[in-house]
Structure formats: C-alpha cells, structure tokens
Amino acid sequence: MYRPIPEETVQHILNQVDLVEVAGAYVQLRKTGKNFMGLCPFHSEKSPSFSVSPDKQMYHCFGCGRGGNVFTFLMEMEGFSFTEAVHHLAERIGLSITDQGGFPVQEKKKQQEKAWMLKAHHLVAQLYHHVLMERKEGQEALNYLRQRGFDAATIKTFQLGYAPDQWDFVTQFLAKRNFPLPLMAKAGLIGKGEGGERYFDRFRGRIIFPIWNHQGQVIGFGGRLLGEGHPKYLNSPETIIFRKSKQLFNFHRARQEIRTHQTALLLEGYADVLTAFQAGILNATATLGTALSDDQARMIKRNAQRVIICYDGDQAGMQAALKAAEVLERESCLVKVAVVPDGMDPDEYIRLRGARAFKEQVLESAMSVTAFQLEQLKKGRRLDDQQELSAYLDEALRVISRLNRAVEREHYLRQLSEEFLLPLDVLKKDLYRVYKQERHKQAKDPQQVLRVESTSVQETKLVPAYINAERMLLAYMMHHHGVTELVERYVGNRFNHPLHQRLAAHLYAFNARHKQADLRLFVSTLDDEDLIRLVSQIASLTISPELTSGVFEDYVYQILTFPYLKEIESKEREKKKAEQHGDVEKAAQIAMEIIEMKKKLKNKPKVESGLFETTSWREG
C-alpha cells in the first residue's frame, strides 16, 4: 500500500513515542521481567496475556493473536487509518506534518470527510452553547437548566447548548461557511427532505448535550426536547466518527479519576452524570441511550477493576442494571449495584437529598450482583405463601448455583437459611439438584459443546518442525539484515506456509531498501492484518543472541525437505495400496523410488565457507 507519509517521518515518530506509555493509557500494564503485561483490550479475558515489549516497541496478545507497533495499536483501538495514527502521534510529540501528494483515493476521501465532520461538530457545539448562554432563543432552556440545579460552571464544562426551534438555523450556519450539505447530512447534523433537495436541522427546540470521543472531540449530540412532543430524547445517528456502542458519555473527562480509584460509576442518563459531577463525583459515565455493549464494558475494564451500576430506581432501570451487570461480569469486572430508593433516578435523588446522602446511603450501600438478583426475585411475590416461597427459592438457588466459588454459595445459602428459617443441609441438597439440572441443560447445548471442543483442539495442537524452523528464521530475519540476505539466497520463496512465504517476500523487499533491520518501521509498511499479527507473534519468540551456521543449516534443511517428506508419505500410501491389491511389481518400483528420495534427504545444505561469518547478524 502506498503511504502518503515519508518513511523518515514515520521513523522519527517511532523513535520519539513510547508504546508502553501509549498503550498504558488504555490498558493497565504491570512490569513482568523485561516486558509489561495486562488484560488484552481486544478480547475478553481473566488472566493477562497482552504483552508489550519496551525493547522491541511491539505488542502481542498470546490469547487472540493481535499485535503490532504503536501505529497498529491506535488503528485497532481508535479505528484510525494509518495516516490518522501518524498524525495523532505527530501532534503528541509536537511534530508538524505536511502531507505529501499521492493519497490513496478512498483513504483521502475518508480523511477529508472525517476532518469536515469533526470541524463541523466543534463549531455547531459552540453555536448551540452560544445560543443557550447569550441569545433570547435560549433563555427558556437556560432557565430550565438552572431550575434543575445545574450551575454555570457545569453548563460551561459540559458545553450544554440549545438548538432553536427553527428548520434551517444550523443548515444556514454550515452553508455560509461552505460546509458541503450532503456531507453534513451524512454526519447527522442536518436531515434531507424526501425530494432530496431541501435540507433541514436535525435538532430543533432541544437542549443539547455534546458527546465526546476519547480525545475530547465532539462527535455527536444528545438532544432533550424542551416542552411536549416525541421523541423526548434524540441522539445523533451512527456515522464514521460516531458509534454509540463504542463510546461512553463523559468518559474522556472521567477516565483519570476512574483509573486513579480503580472504580467507575455507571449511570443511565446524561443529567445523572452532570448532577453527579456537580456533586463532586468525578468518576461517573453513562451509555448513550442504549444497553451497555461488550465494547463499552471492555473500555471500562481497561481502566478500572470495580464498577458500581446506579440506574433509575424503577423496574425498567433495575432490569437494565441487571443486564449491564451480566455484560460487565463477562469482562471479569467486580460489579456492585446501587439501588436508588422510591423509584427515583440518581439526578433526582441528589437534587432532593444531597450529594452526601447519595454517597453514603446509595453508593456505599451498593450490593453484589447476586444479592441484587435475589432482591429482584422477591419483587411482586407474597413470600408468606408457601407456593410463592417455593418458586422464589427455586429461582434463587438457580442464581446461587451459577456462582463459581464455594464460599460464595455457602454465604448466600446461609442467608436464605436465616431469612426463611430453613435447615441449611436441606438447602444444600436442593442446590445440588438445581446444579445438576443446569449442567444437564448446558450438556444439551451444541454450541457449548462446540466451544469446549474447539478450545481443546487449540490448546493441544503441536507445531510441526518445519513450521517452527520457518518461524525461527523469520524471527532472525526481522532483527538481522545479514540473515535476511542468507535466507533469500538459500530458501528464497520456498517457505511452505503461505503466510510465511508472504512475510518473507516483504522482508526481502524491505531488506533491499534499507541498510539495516528495523522491526518497528517494517511493521509500518504492512497493510495486511494477518501479516501484522504474524509479525507480532514471531517477534515475541525467544531467539538466541547468536545464530550459528549449524543451526541455520538445520532450519533450512527442515524447510526445504518438508515437501519431499510429504511426497514420501504419499508414496508410502501408494505402495501400501499396491500391496493390498497384490500388485507386487508396482509396490517394488515405488519402494525403490522411496529409497532414492530418502538418500537425497541425507544431504543437508551447507553455507559457503566464510560467507556466514562475514554477514552482520550478531546482536550488538
């Protein structure tokens, strides 16, 4: 792929930026030997398998296989293109980049569209805020916000705004500044009429809540209707800069507090977050009007061990809290649920009873997910009725049976025993019965069986000798210019694994353009995700600081002889088949061919005298 950024600029950025520091903003990393380890940000896991090498400036996940350098990390984390990642890191180190000509057409178009969209959102956010604070059209909205208890500092911090109840207020604003209106409709700032010619404002007569990405850029809006109408709340649509399932409201502002205290407070609405922030609770974030997604849960997990969910106190809020808890627990978060009494939401509770009461009586009283589930199961039931009590206990035991730790199961069984005056041993027998029923259901689930079988195969699969040889040679090639020259001469394109063959070809080409090996720069020349993952995997292998001619010759031997070994296996099967059919003459002929082929295998390749010692491959 043609790169619009000069290679020397890429090299300069790689020399100035520390991958450990960049990745550390997303993943909690801990020093383990020479490397740093943490939970992978790209897939769900309980034990750290994400490794960052400060020496190689490469990352690799031993679980999902993803890896690369600092550019690929940002491309995967933020959805950047290569060019965007380069520009982002250039800004980080204060480097000004003047784009060279020759952008790939599709990438250039996407870059331009994103730039236009971000600039438009920034200006429109300022416009909405100005209307709210300075113009008569926003006076009613400003009075409403003040009555809700939001002070000037909060309104300014969150850049709240107001969209006038006009059809073309923002449309004209953008048109006068030469923003392409079709693109602005694509960005979700304006709409397009049925005829396809007339454009109109998407947000009208609404209080505006800007939505930011991780970098603090406005990428969308949430609008609350001022007065009667439907829908009451309206969000920006999905665009190339805004994905609801990948963002959290106020997360860019709350992230440092979340990381410092290792606890995130997950709320349900924008107003809840604002009120909590104003009350001095700075680790609050919220979903964007949708259920919590796996991506959002991973975002939280990368920054905190603990999560307190505090949704609306009504039944819908409690059900949503339970679903969010399940998603977070899949990501191995330590989850608690705080219940707001009397069906109130956090915003209402804080305004009526104060920040101190919210912290002490709601947040500090947060209960475990299991305790919360058991409380929810009681609702709407008459537990003084024996039938209803039996039904409750059966469901409660199903919840308890899913707990992994025996001490937790014992704890909740004792609670049930004490609460309902039931013998503990009887409850344990019933728990075992329920546990067997649940296991029977899982055994009948073909998807569950498939998952187990696939895991077992993956864990027990051994790497063939020729594959290991190819990987080890590729590992040396990535670090040593001279080894690449030798491999090109003695192996060439005869790598057996297609992906290894492609990687070797890229290494040969890179070697021809550069006087020395440079792993970080080499990765930046790749645009194939499979190859980037392979490089990170191979780069994580431990290789000896010195490659001897004997070891080199063994690797080459394993690679070059594998096709012959496959052919010999095929001949052996052919010979056996001939013997079974009684064709003695054919079997004898094939046997002679096999003997000749095996003779050839005894001849190991030899590196020309003096050539191996004069190549610059040694460490240091």
Q: Would the pLDDT of 616 be above 50?
A: no
DSSP 136: G
Strand order in the sheet with 367-368: 284-286, 263-267, 306-309, 334-337, 367-368
Is this structure's pTM higher than 0.75? no
Output the pLDDT for position 460. 34
Side-chain-side CA neighbours of 63 within 13 Å: the count stands at 15
Residue 101 banded pLDDT, cuts 50, 70, 90: very low
Tokens 């609770």 identify what position?
A: 281
> Model confidence over 391-407: pLDDT tens digits?
999 999 999 998 888 99
> Model confidence over 469-496: pLDDT tens digits?
999 999 999 989 889 999 999 899 999 9
Q: What average pLDDT score do residues 361-383 get?
A: 92
* Cβ neighbours for 341, distance < 8 A, ≥ 6 positions apart: 313, 349, 362
Q: What average pLDDT score do residues 15-24 get?
A: 93
- 37 phi, psi to nearest 5 deg: -125, 150
Calculate the alpha carbon distances from 50 to 37, 58, 60, 216, 352 in Å.
Answer: 6, 11, 6, 27, 46
C-alpha 37/C-alpha 73 separation (Å) is: 15
CA Rg value for the chain: 32
Output the pLDDT for position 611. 54
Residue 53's identity, in one-letter code, is S
- 210 phi, psi to nearest 5 deg: -65, 145
Percent of the chain with pLDDT over 70: 91
C-alpha 15/C-alpha 67 separation (Å) is: 19
Chain center to CA of 167:
39
Q: What average pLDDT score do residues 366-385 get?
A: 91
285's enclosing H/E stretch is: strand 284-286
Structure tokens at 434: 């329920």
Q: Would the pLDDT of 100 be above 60?
A: no
Structure tokens at 423: 């013998």
Q: Would the pLDDT of 195 be above 80?
A: no
Output the pLDDT for position 285. 97
> Model confidence over 213-250: pLDDT tens digits?
988 899 999 999 998 888 999 999 999 999 999 999 99
Percent of the chain with pLDDT over 90: 54
Calculate the alpha carbon distances from 134 to 123, 138, 162, 219 in Å.
Answer: 16, 7, 11, 24
**Bridge partners of residue 32, in order along the sequence:** 35
Output the pLDDT for position 578. 84
3's enclosing H/E stretch is: none
Q: Is the peptide bond before 341 cis (omega within 30 degrees of 0)?
A: no
Output the pLDDT for position 159. 97
Q: Would the pLDDT of 363 be above 80?
A: yes
> Model confidence over 453-468: pLDDT tens digits?
333 333 334 678 889 9
Q: What average pLDDT score do residues 71-95 get?
A: 85
Output the pLDDT for position 106. 62
Residue 160 banded pLDDT, cuts 50, 70, 90: very high
Q: Would the pLDDT of 345 be above 60?
A: yes
- 184-198, 218-232, 445-459: lowest mean pLDDT where? 445-459
- Mean pLDDT, the chain, integer: 87
Q: Taking the C-alpha atoms of 481, 483, 489 and 491 in order, what is their torsion angle to the nearest 10 degrees? A: -130
On whether the CB atoms of residues 513 and 58 are closer than 8 A, the answer is: no
Output the pLDDT for position 110. 77
C-alpha 430/C-alpha 620 separation (Å) is: 67
- 528 phi, psi to nearest 5 deg: -105, 120
Question: Biggest alpha carbon distance in the chain?
Answer: 104
Tokens 């073309």 identify what position?
A: 168
Q: Could you tell me how many residues make up the chain?
A: 620
> Model confidence over 291-330: pLDDT tens digits?
999 989 988 988 888 999 999 999 899 999 999 999 999 8
> Model confidence over 534-571: pLDDT tens digits?
999 898 888 887 888 888 988 998 898 888 888 888 88
Residue 141's identity, in one-letter code, is A
Q: Would the pLDDT of 148 be above 60?
A: yes
C-alpha 173/C-alpha 125 separation (Å) is: 12
Structure tokens at 129: 């805020």
C-alpha 455/C-alpha 17 separation (Å) is: 37
Output the pLDDT for position 453. 34
C-alpha 476/C-alpha 497 separation (Å) is: 17
Q: Would the pLDDT of 196 be above 70?
A: no
Q: Would the pLDDT of 620 be above 50?
A: no
Q: Would the pLDDT of 373 be above 90?
A: yes
Q: Closest by alpha carbon to 345, among 325, 366, 322, 317?
A: 317
Residue 202 banded pLDDT, cuts 50, 70, 90: very high
On whether the CB atoms of residues 241 and 119 are closer than 8 A, the answer is: no
